[in-house]
Structure 1
Amino acid sequence: MSDAVMSDAVMSDAVMSDAVMSPFAPLREQLASAAAAFGDGLVDDVEQALRTDVEIFPVCHHSPASALAMVRRLREKQPKVVYLELCEDLRPVLEELRNCRLPVALQAFASDIDGFPPEWAPLSVIAPITESSAEYQAIAYALDTPGVEIVLVDRSVDHVFQWEPRAGAADVGIEIGDLRPGFAALEEHLLHHGKVRHWSEWWDQYVEQPLSGADYDTYRQVMVLIGSLFRRLGPEGHQVDEDRERYMWTRMREHLAATGTDPAECLYVCGAFHAASPVMDEHLDISPRTSTAWLYGLIPSSHSAIEEQFGLAPGSVSIAAATWSKSLRRGRLTPYTLGGRSKRAASPPGTPAETDTEPETEDRLSGFLTRPPVLDGFDEAELLGWCVEIVRLARRNGYLASTADAIAVYETSILLAGMRGRKRPTPYDFQDAAVTCIEKDVVPGRRDVRRLCEILLGGDKIGQVGYDSLPPLARDVLDRLQPLGLDLEKRTIQRALIDLDAHPELEPCSHLLWILRRLLPDDAVRPIMGSRRLGERSHQESWDLAIGRNQRSIIELGYEGVTIEQVLEQRLRRTCWDEKATAATALDAVEDSILYLRNRRFTDELGARAVELLAGERTVDDAPEVLGRIRRLLAHYRAVEPELPAWAKSFVTTGYAHYCTLLPTAFAEEETGVRQVGAMLGFLFTMESLALSLGCDRTQLELAVQQSRPEAPAKVALLWTAHFQLGLLSMAGLRERMIELLGNPLVVPSVPQYVSGFVQALESAPTLTPFVVEVLSRAFGRLPDDVLLPWLPKLITTLRAQAPELVPMLVREAGRTFPARLADVDSFTPPWLERVPAKVITPPASQPVGELLAVHPGTVAAVAGLLGCEPVTIAGAGGEVAGLLAAHPETGEAVAGVLAVV
């Protein structure tokens, strides 16, 4: 016998021996030729998973095929214990699923953390659940079947973050049963040869549809094989995955030892990736949890949110839900749902399975891997229904679609499926066909054809958490809003009309709505009529409420506190004591505390924090915001309180000294804008009387102004106005400087900057409004076009962006100054160009005011200059005095009386 013949005989004997020893020998021979590098390992993983004492049920999350196989297996086996790959400390939340409309997500949340980097806060773990997932079917079976226990065996949420790299993300979503390959080249290869666009379509075509009608052994072997393949072709290093698997097997062994349960009566539900684990027999020493206080609950989820979390194609979860419903009807199966056990159970709850021994394992992979999908009549009828329905939806959304388009979509769907190498058109083929046949150049409405296809196949279904499963805060919100008479759990937008004068009992509802407006997204609680500001009270309010649609946001507020007021208080305190907090943010928090909390002690605490932050600031970037907020707060307290609170007085005195100290530097620094310097002067001059009454020294302000040496033209103008307010410069002198600027050709190009400075000066000196109108008028009249035209748009945009509150002052003053009719323009003379002759007034000699003015002419002349009045001559007085005082001697009489002048 030749060597070749002997070799063939030896190989034949080896194959026959393998065939006797293992049912997978033929498959092993096929894989050896296609994947010699790891073919044996794949089959070994399958055999290992099938030989474990605890039955492993491999799944892909949100997979209809997995859910269908789970329903069939639960009815057949009826396990006593279900081990589930889910964070073990989420177990109490499972009971609350009874009160929910899926999809929802289990959530663990922690805002006060201990043992983790502070920048990670808040921590959150989210695990979404849909009805078409194997996990939900297992949960529903276990919770509603007497004598069945469900045990979550995956690492706790605390361990999830313990195992995260310290540079890792702070928000982690658990991907239960993720089967998207981590090997990019493999995915690209599969998509190319499968003639599909994305991974979700490949999975639906080559795994979901074939496995939907497969028997349990075939399903199980295929899923383990795929998990093993992805495990071996994925990125190097599975340390975290293997540690998770050791964790789960350690927990299962501990439970079996503690309860004495027979492993044959247990079912272990895990991702297919973990079903092919090589560490099933290894033990893990589990570290203790940190002191972080975790909060657990349910939040609404949606198909689109699940797709984003798991990196799936848009619409894929909706298509999976449609496949699930179709498969249930075709297979005449009733799924497990919480709240009642299925009437189609193979045997009563708690009874043993039909056979006490497991059937011998057979090779089901070979036939499955070589059998193409089959198109049956039910699918054709479904495709016809889709085509008719998409035309109806298209016409409702403005498309000019007809019956011919429905026929075209049907034929194109079959054509595309054939071109892509499949006999049965998938929902993805149908989508492409509908876009090709119906979509035009312009979308007539808000939805295009692809979006209409997603709606037809189920749309973006959004879950809802029932009232009994809501956290105390969410229930409290719904209870307190009951007097409105609306069903706020609905997902529609509802209009609430509140007449506070006719129904004062609705005031608490209005107050709560304003707090919700402060904390929730803008579309959740939107006021149509009414406002909430300091010093205002609404008599009637109108609201658009979408609380049911934003249920998730309200539930997440429940993780922060028991009442909505407590949550707002915690947020305001956290904002004020943040390392980036400023005096402006603290004043904002004070205002919110007054408007929403009505807690004087807490408001005073925030005010004291604002004083502390202001004293520690080394920049004046927030000076405009600080000025605006403290003005509003002081006006509020003067209107409602007999005296200012202690923190407000301290803020004024601290701010006066603080801005006096920083004023020379702010004038000199180029980084500090004219808006900030104007706001500083506004604070100093408008708060001056209050600050001086509280013990401040005006000399500090005078020294600060005199030490200022600005170079920028706008800041120079601000300094001139400060000199004017301090009495160091008269109105006539200020006007002369402006006229000199306009007459100097070397300075003319920078005149607009001076004008901008004068405009910003209105923040500190509103009485200068007539002068600013005069300055603008002179500039518009004398500046050349090449200077004026580029500057004018910039002036308008600057005023709109930085000083919108100053524009009405200028407009009103201009309205009083300039003629209201066009016919009066030609004869109009600006008041600053009029020359009023000096008046001669002879006051009665018997009046003390005449004697006072005659004795002190210099003082009253200075007062006249400060007031901007034209001089007058008083007979016998020997000097010029203010015309205003001469024309109104009774004022002088009053002053003389105060001074005890006889």
Structure 2
Amino acid sequence: MSTAPANGGAPAGAAPFSPLRERLREAAEEFAGAPGAAAGILAGMVDDVDRALREPVEVFPVAHHSPAAALAMARRLREKRPKAVFVELCEDLVPLLDELRNCKLPVALQAFASEPEGLPSAGGPLSVVAPVTEASAEYQAIAYALETPGVELVAVDRSVDLVFQWDAAREAGQGPDAGQDSGDGAAEAAGLHGGAVGVEIGDLRPRFADLEEHLLHRGRVRHWSEWWDQYVEQPLARADHDTYRQVMVAVGGLFRRLSPRDARLAVDEDRERHMWRRIREHLSATGTDPADTVFVCGAFHAASPVEEASSTAGDGGFTIPPPTGTGWLYGLIPSSNSAIEAQFSLAQGAVSVASATWAKHVSARSVRPFRLKGQKGAGAAGKRSAVPAAAGAAAGPTAPDPGRLSGFLSAPPELDPLDEAELRTWCVDLVRLARRNGYASSTADAIAVYETAVLLAGMRDRARPTPYDFQDAAVTCIEKDTVPGRRDVRRLCEILLGGDRVGSVGYHSMPPLAKDVADRLEPLGVDLGKRTVQRILVDLRAEPELEPASLLLWRLRRLLGAPVRPIAGACALGDRSVQESWDVSLGRDQRTLIELGYEGVTVEQVLEQRLRRAAWDPGATAASVLEAAEDALVLLDSPALVADLGRRAVEVLASERTADGAPEVLRRFRALVAHFRGTGAGLPAWCKEFVKAGYAHYCTLLPRAFAEEEAGVGQVAAMLSFLFSLESTALALGCDRDQLELAVAQSHPEDAAKVALLWAGRHRLGALAREELRARCAELLANPLVVPSYPRYLSGFAQALGPVPELAPFVVEAVSEAFARLPDRVLLPWLPVLVETLRKDAGTMMPALVREAGRTFPGKPGALDAWTPPWAREQAPAADGDAAAPSGGGGPAAELLDRHRASCDAVAAVLGADGAWSGPDAGAGGAASPAAGGAASLVERHPAAAAAVAALLEGRRVRT
């Protein structure tokens, strides 16, 4: 036997196909009017068939998820009983095939890499899937090889590592290599394959849009799947083996010759060199007779003109590149009809139609399929089709018979008499299903669907109605213009034809992590085999032994998200509920759980790895690292991990150059400090280092944050809140308060809100008395040019309630004074601005402000007439020249100390201060007390502290 030359010319000994070649050339010349490319393409198709049939290794061309290919495969395997089966499948996926026994099809073989190394991909994780359905030729070959003693199954396609090394077309955006995501996000929506790269046997489709558009137009169909089912699948469903092989090779040769010469075609040629090299290596190593083998590959590859694509050719200098350093993990994930359709750009319902066609021929006993023993979904038919241990005599190579292809191309299609009964059954069942879904359908609609389907098939030049004709007829006759429920008629047709069949992975085929999760959730009644959403109720008070399982659910919630959803209950710092309610859909979302198993052996290990990865990520912020530390504290209870993450948070905080994350840092660190102080163990070492680093860091950033427009007032307020709320701790740890005072003194904001915030900060430090704040606000209200921006000042004061909460009475006073002093013509225009500004910039502080206003104003409208604001009562004694005020102080502080001289004397005695009271009552009752004079001297030396204490106490007194 001889092989064809690389140029695709007629091979030696091609006389059997010479008459067919001449007839096709004459037909092309008659059609085109002159010899041309069409004649060469048609003649080349015959050459491809001749070359493939003369190959010693029997080449069996298939198309992906083709029931005709599966039927022909099952018939041929029972007839020939080959000793070796070569399959176009990634060679490193073979160890997964035996695990198919524990699964319910469809499932997908998966290779997963979380951290790719040396690959051209943009980044990880990377995922490759190869879906397997029962109505596919590859599954028939796998089941035959695994169930028949003495038969070898050899995967000869490139490894998953080479998928990304060679997939230059995909990286360049020129289209998928072996059937990939269609790019419209449909595979993501299917939720089973995610964004994985799909590899499959027999990607057979025109590779440029003009040819596909022409075929769809001439075939009167809307999608390629419909064209393929009409003109290839149905005619080949009952064809004999020789006819099937010749037609499939001819179709593959046609599409190959019409394919553009691009990077994708170059990758296909390298794949063919790789596959045939592996075949030659196996034949040489085992001594297997090529006549006892079958090579299951796509029809596109079966018509390969590559010189090395033969069992008798050499390598031709072709070398297989070494694998990269990427660590690949392998497993099985669930798949579904809709996920396969979305992944490989098939029409919606195409896989369901293929499954229905397969089931029709199997039930008619026209073929006995192969199934793996013990597989879910394989019933009595699977047991009857088990392969006997003694293999029959192998069928030897036969001479090419050109009459098969000639007869098939020239004979008209035959009408299957069973199709009429099948169509009637579809119509009756559809009407029954439509009634259950709210449609007002009747027997007349069933008759109308039948007649319309036959009419549509005739209009489209079809010998018999196809499932697609039936769907169109059903939509026309039943749905009309309304859909009473959630499902339209097209969806009902898909359900009728088999629906969106979803596979599942058995317990024994899951990775160790998934098995561990199933075992640990068993006390809660969680069944990973159910695809429904399971409602789980946990009462830790009645059943405390369920706490480990409950904590596992919270960890899975942190890792997986939607598949584990809490309805009631909490697990946070200082908040652990004793009664919980969960919605768990791990059975429906097996893929996420299985892919989680690629990252570690237990959930705790994976969670720790992710927390560390997030903390040491180059883009990590202090807030994100604190979040990781909080999760480690709540979910893992690992002090060592929390300490590592805390030290990392200190490093990240010191390296930040902006105040963008200050609010989140403040919120999370406050919660952690409160937790540690509440447990009684005190602050750990990393918390103390964080306080010291944060105090110095925010003091350094404060002047620039006040001046920059990019830094919002909320971020500056968060920085001040950190500094003021943790000031005592920072000073106890050795920080210098002068640094904070200097930072505030160097701040010179221009924004009105930041100016008010700075005033509040200076007041908190004792550099600005409340009387001066009142004076400045009064000056702002008296200036007509400043009044329009006064809401911004009020927003800044409201934001200041975070770092300076004792200013709440003053903020109420400032707002009230604005409403009291401004005339309506000025107040009304900026009132909406005030409301919008406070809502936008100070929304979190408004509850505190409203509570303070509720304590300040009277509760009844009738009391407003006789009500005097507390700030007015504070200013009245000073206005009347109260002589009882101490000479060393002034204002509320002096008044408060004068009213409580006994307390002041006691404090002065403890502090060892000397001095005497001044005023009309100084000598009452005897000589002035030295201790009393010491209190007065303290007030004189520290007026700011006395004013702050007085303001705080006065506010409490007024509220009381």
TM (norm. structure 2) is 0.85
Q: For residues 495-538 of structure 1, what are the alpha-carbon distances to aligned partners after superposition, in whole Å with 9 as ceiling and x for unaligned?
A: 2111111111101000100001111131x111111111101121
Structure 2 counterpart of 1:208, from 233, 253, 260: 233
Structure 2 counterpart of 1:44, from 38, 44, 47: 47
1:73: which partner in 2? 76
1:473 aligns with 2:507: no
1:897: which partner in 2? none
Contact 2:510–2:594 (CA under 8 A) maintained in structure 1: yes
Taking the TM superposition and a 5 Å limit, the aligned residue runs for 1:106-255 are 106-116=109-119, 119-165=122-168, 167=171, 171-237=196-262, 238-255=265-282
2:614: which partner in 1? 575
Structure 2 counterpart of 1:683, from 722, 740, 761: 722
Give the superposition deviation at 1:678: 1.1
Give the superposition deviation at 1:457: 1.8
Taking the TM superposition and a 5 Å limit, the aligned residue runs for 1:102-501 are 102-116=105-119, 119-165=122-168, 167=171, 171-237=196-262, 238-279=265-306, 280=309, 281-283=313-315, 284-339=318-373, 348-353=388-393, 355-358=395-398, 360-501=400-541
Contact 1:69–1:216 (CA under 8 A) maintained in structure 2: yes
| 1:791–1:837 Cα change, 3 Å | closer
Cα distance between partner residues in 1 of 2:956 and 2:281: 99
Q: For residues 218-243 of structure 1, what are the alpha-carbon distances to aligned partners after superposition, in whole Å with 9 as ceiling and x for unaligned?
A: 11111111111111111213211111
Q: For residues 387-417 of structure 1, what are the alpha-carbon distances to aligned partners after superposition, in whole Å with 9 as ceiling and x for unaligned?
A: 2233333333333333333222222222222
Give the superposition deviation at 1:799: 4.1
Cα distance between partner residues in 2 of 1:771 and 1:670: 27
Contact 2:338–2:348 (CA under 8 A) maintained in structure 1: yes
* More off after superposition, 346-355 vs 662-671: 346-355
Give the superposition deviation at 1:204: 1.1
Query: How many residues are aligned here?
Result: 856
Contact 2:16–2:402 (CA under 8 A) maintained in structure 1: no
Aligned partner of residue 405 in structure 1, secondary structure:
helix
Cα distance between partner residues in 2 of 1:497 and 1:603: 31
Q: Which amino acid aligns with 2:520?
A: R
Contact 2:373–2:383 (CA under 8 A) maintained in structure 1: no
| 1:661–1:411 Cα change, 3 Å | same
Structure 2 counterpart of 1:792, from 807, 819, 835: 835
* More off after superposition, 755-764 vs 830-839: 830-839
Cα distance between partner residues in 1 of 2:397 and 2:594: 47
Q: Which amino acid aligns with 2:372?
A: L
Contact 1:304–1:314 (CA under 8 A) maintained in structure 2: yes
Cα distance between partner residues in 2 of 1:275 and 1:679: 69
Contact 2:744–2:761 (CA under 8 A) maintained in structure 1: yes
Cα distance between partner residues in 2 of 1:21 and 1:105: 41
Cα distance between partner residues in 2 of 1:711 and 1:790: 19
| 1:81–1:741 Cα change, 3 Å | same
1:896: which partner in 2? none
Q: For residues 700-747 of structure 1, what are the alpha-carbon distances to aligned partners after superposition, in whole Å with 9 as ceiling and x for unaligned?
A: 111111111111111111111111111111112112222221221101
Q: For residues 624-666 of structure 1, what are the alpha-carbon distances to aligned partners after superposition, in whole Å with 9 as ceiling and x for unaligned?
A: 1111111111111111252211111111111111111111111
Cα distance between partner residues in 2 of 1:561 and 1:519: 13
* More off after superposition, 75-84 vs 432-441: 432-441
Cα distance between partner residues in 1 of 2:866 and 2:466: 84
| 1:832–1:403 Cα change, 3 Å | farther
2:87: which partner in 1? 84
Contact 2:341–2:350 (CA under 8 A) maintained in structure 1: yes
Cα distance between partner residues in 1 of 2:735 and 2:725: 14
Cα distance between partner residues in 1 of 2:688 and 2:631: 19
Q: For residues 96-143 of structure 1, what are the alpha-carbon distances to aligned partners after superposition, in whole Å with 9 as ceiling and x for unaligned?
A: 011000111111112243333584222221111111110011000100
* More off after superposition, 585-594 vs 776-785: 776-785
Aligned partner of residue 443 in structure 1, secondary structure:
coil
Give the superposition deviation at 1:193: 0.7
Aligned partner of residue 497 in structure 1, secondary structure:
strand
Q: Which amino acid aligns with 2:218?
A: H
| 1:287–1:641 Cα change, 3 Å | farther
Q: Which amino acid aligns with 2:245?
A: R
Instruction: Extract unaligned runs of 5+ from structure 1.
Output: 1-13, 871-881, 888-902
1:624: which partner in 2? 663
Contact 1:246–1:282 (CA under 8 A) maintained in structure 2: no
Cα distance between partner residues in 1 of 2:429 and 2:100: 33
Q: Which amino acid aligns with 2:501?
A: K
Contact 1:373–1:424 (CA under 8 A) maintained in structure 2: no
1:529: which partner in 2? 568
Taking the TM superposition and a 5 Å limit, the aligned residue runs for 1:689-728 are 689-728=728-767
Give the superposition deviation at 1:419: 1.8
Cα distance between partner residues in 1 of 2:784 and 2:684: 54
Give the superposition deviation at 1:31: 5.3
1:776: which partner in 2? 815
Cα distance between partner residues in 2 of 1:18 and 1:161: 39
Aligned partner of residue 299 in structure 1, secondary structure:
strand
Cα distance between partner residues in 2 of 1:825 and 1:318: 77
Give the superposition deviation at 1:362: 3.2
| 1:353–1:31 Cα change, 3 Å | farther
Contact 1:23–1:363 (CA under 8 A) maintained in structure 2: no
Contact 1:101–1:464 (CA under 8 A) maintained in structure 2: yes
Percentage of pairs with the same residue: 62
Instruction: Extract unaligned runs of 5+ from structure 2.
Output: 1-9, 32-37, 174-194, 375-380, 885-897, 903-924
| 1:868–1:679 Cα change, 3 Å | same
Contact 1:853–1:860 (CA under 8 A) maintained in structure 2: no
Give the superposition deviation at 1:91: 0.9
Aligned partner of residue 411 in structure 1, secondary structure:
helix
Give the superposition deviation at 1:342: 5.5
Aligned partner of residue 179 in structure 1, secondary structure:
coil
Give the superposition deviation at 1:566: 0.9
Cα distance between partner residues in 2 of 1:661 and 1:729: 22
Aligned partner of residue 465 in structure 1, secondary structure:
coil
Structure 2 counterpart of 1:503, from 543, 552, 563: 543
* More off after superposition, 392-401 vs 538-547: 392-401
Contact 1:80–1:148 (CA under 8 A) maintained in structure 2: yes
1:763 aligns with 2:802: yes
| 1:572–1:251 Cα change, 3 Å | same
Q: Which amino acid aligns with 1:362?
A: P
Aligned partner of residue 784 in structure 1, secondary structure:
helix
Aligned partner of residue 650 in structure 2, secondary structure:
helix
* More off after superposition, 770-779 vs 329-338: 770-779
Give the superposition deviation at 1:812: 2.0
Give the superposition deviation at 1:764: 0.9
* More off after superposition, 112-121 vs 75-84: 112-121
Q: Which amino acid aligns with 1:290?
A: T
Q: For residues 847-889 of structure 1, what are the alpha-carbon distances to aligned partners after superposition, in whole Å with 9 as ceiling and x for unaligned?
A: 776443444553575445324649xxxxxxxxxxx979999xx
2:34: which partner in 1? none
Q: Which amino acid aligns with 2:295?
A: Y
Give the superposition deviation at 1:357: 4.9
Q: For residues 570-602 of structure 1, what are the alpha-carbon distances to aligned partners after superposition, in whole Å with 9 as ceiling and x for unaligned?
A: 111111111111111111110111111111111
